[in-house]
Amino acid sequence: MNDKENPELKLPPAVEEALTKLTELFSDPSLPSKAQLRCPVEGPDEFDVLFESIIDDQFGHDPNSDYKQWVRRLYQLGFIPRLPGEWN
């Protein structure tokens, strides 16, 4: 494959600038060594649970679906404070 078929991906200037500022911010030695990040939501809401239950009804219950695993991982990392009771 030549360069014309696979052009190098370039980020928009605004994205490049934002990434540069984030790199500077998190490289600041005066910041605590461990950044604390949280999602602006408490966890999956009733619509997320409803949608996942519809998928389970249509395709069979999967307690370890990709979505449930992703949500559990967010919980384990401390990004969200709770999981739906039926997903524990």
Per-residue pLDDT of 25-40, as tens digits, reads: 777 777 665 555 555 6
Percent of the residues in the chain that have a pLDDT greater than 90, as a whole number:
1
CB-based contact 84:42 (threshold 8 Å): no
pTM reported for the whole predicted model: 0.51
- Judged on CB neighbours under 10 Å (0-12, 13-18, 19+), 36 is exposed
Distance CA 43, CA 62 (A): 19
Banded model confidence at residue 3, pLDDT cuts 50, 70, 90: very low
